Structure 1
């Protein structure tokens, strides 16, 4: 998979928003490289406010980057309206809350057919809608055509949202917290559906989530984001069985199946308009607070020395002075 040309890439991507009342601009996405290859599922993981949703919206063309670029199929994304319309047929968004993303006055048929109508689909609309519903696991599809969202369960509504994305036969979907609002029993069904779509259709996916457990169940690769930048990335098995970054270790420690002592991070993530010097995680880092970084001789670097931007490919990488020092010591 690592030798395959990326389907979607972010290169040195930055998204800043104007500060309030003359404050410095907020660096929501701050120099991110990220590749997604054909048939690959990448999980973008981090706390609320870390910039992962802004990054996803920028990859969709909804938020133009302040600098850097997004490429799709090797070509830079064109932000002209006609080009974006064509692009969004190939890259579709699946939202977190199916109740909020479905119009309560539209039937299931109209909800799924909406994308076809926007893009001027010339084929058999009924056949396309039925096919999308069927692929999303709503069978027989005709039984759902005239139902309204309030007549469906939460899992069925999420399947309708997924069918609305699939009906345009995209190459990639961006799923923002796709199972966050669902019961535990239904979450597994939706995750299994996404995996089946990847296997049957060759669909790629970027799954945005705060839940490392979800990443473990669905992703080929994980990118951990903190304060606008990816701080650790690699194959999901490597990152989740041997996390190197203290932030990843803290996120993983709260999963019941981890067996580790939960790490409680102090404070809130810093304001993205005031990114700290050195490692952007150092003010909350349990390794620095415990004196481990001092003993490794990197405490001053943690506080003052900036870390390099991680490459967007599939290799395992970490942006952490202490983890790099520990790896050198082991070698």
Structure 2
């Protein structure tokens, strides 16, 4: 599979206040997204996944590393970023906050066309985007306002606004988190249909591994600024190798794993611990099961995982000391 978007050695730091250490929000990430591939970026709040997504969109300039799209490095000049954002679109979590309450559905979807100086038939383009997003007949929605729509319809309008420019990749940040459970499946099915019909690629940012299971081809699990496990979704979610991934999976209702309650809060990204960055909260290390590699966990840095499709894990225990059994498939 050819890579549509790639990040290599990506780092994003934010200066601390009053001489405090800089916060390492993204601390060495390699990530590839193939043409027509859906990748789920999963992790707790504060792990850096939204900062990583914003960096891939060109909204944040990386401190180090590079982003390439279709083989070309991303340039951080206004004209280059404007052209790039026509090809890579953002779908935000809260459709109510994404839509101007004073704009009709037509104007909300047409906004991108007007920003980019679209020279074709605007009405036809807006109608086509609304229809692809599942709002049919589209003309029935042109003059409606956001408050006249259901939550699912508003999210479809946001998706239509992203589709109207014909992007090759969308970045969806918690795309169903604010929706009722009955509507979430419809929006996920829509994203899958758009991938199949348009060849659209997607990076779906979420805290929910259950969502990743339903929509993604590949999953990347992020903790404290770095990807700690990645691979095909079936591989990672049926046989999780990293204790953090196992903890995230254990709280899902359908999980075969015993529930794991992680101790404490994630460390401050300005004071990332040495060794494995998860070791202070690791349930395997705390139980003594990882005693053979305990010193390495606390003191030996783990390498940055590659961004490709091969299953990989950044964990001393999984690399050598873990027993051979695997988790039962769901």
| 1:104-115 matches, cutoff 5 A | 104-115=101-112
Residue 215 of structure 1 pairs with residue 212 of structure 2: yes
Aligned to 1:324: 319
Residue 180 of structure 2: which of 183, 201, 226 is its match?
183
Residue 55 of structure 2: which of 48, 53, 58 is its match?
58
Name which of structure 1's ranges 119-128 and 17-26 shifts more when overlaid on structure 2. Answer: 17-26
Residue 272 of structure 1 pairs with residue 269 of structure 2: yes
Residue 72 of structure 1 pairs with residue 95 of structure 2: no
Q: How has the CA–CA distance of structure 1 residues 63 and 304 changed in structure 2, closer, same or farther, with 3 Å as cutoff?
A: same
Residue 227 of structure 1: which of 208, 219, 224 is its match?
224
Residue 304 of structure 1 pairs with residue 302 of structure 2: no
**SS class of match (2:187):** helix
**SS class of match (1:298):** helix
| 1:198-209 matches, cutoff 5 A | 198-209=195-206
Residue 138 of structure 1 pairs with residue 127 of structure 2: no
The alpha carbon displacement at 1:280 in A equals: 0.1
**SS class of match (1:256):** coil
The alpha carbon displacement at 1:118 in A equals: 0.1
Residue 13 of structure 1 pairs with residue 10 of structure 2: yes
Residue deviations 1:255-314 (CA, integer Å, cap 9, x gap):
0010322100010000000000000000000000000010xx100000000000000000
Aligned to 1:91: 88
**SS class of match (2:301):** coil
TM-score (norm 2): 0.97
Q: What value does the CA root-mean-square deviation take over the aligned residues?
A: 0.9
**SS class of match (1:277):** coil
Q: Which runs of 4+ in 1 moved over 2 A?
A: 326-330
Residue deviations 1:88-117 (CA, integer Å, cap 9, x gap):
000000000000000000000000000000
CA distance in 2, matches of 1:276, 1:131: 51
The alpha carbon displacement at 1:326 in A equals: 3.7
**SS class of match (1:283):** helix
Residue 241 of structure 1: which of 238, 243, 246 is its match?
238
Aligned to 2:328: none
The alpha carbon displacement at 1:20 in A equals: 1.6
Residue deviations 1:29-84 (CA, integer Å, cap 9, x gap):
00100000000000000000000000000000000000000000011001110000
TM-score (norm 1): 0.97
- Segments of 5+ residues of structure 1 without an aligned counterpart are none
Aligned residues: 325
- Segments of 5+ residues of structure 2 without an aligned counterpart are 326-330
Residue 154 of structure 1: which of 118, 130, 151 is its match?
151
Aligned to 1:254: 251
**SS class of match (2:13):** strand
The alpha carbon displacement at 1:328 in A equals: 8.9
CA distance in 2, matches of 1:166, 1:301: 48
The alpha carbon displacement at 1:149 in A equals: 0.1
Residue deviations 1:154-206 (CA, integer Å, cap 9, x gap):
00000000000000000000000000000000000000000000000000000
CA distance in 1, matches of 2:258, 2:310: 28
Q: How has the CA–CA distance of structure 1 residues 131 and 329 changed in structure 2, closer, same or farther, with 3 Å as cutoff?
A: closer
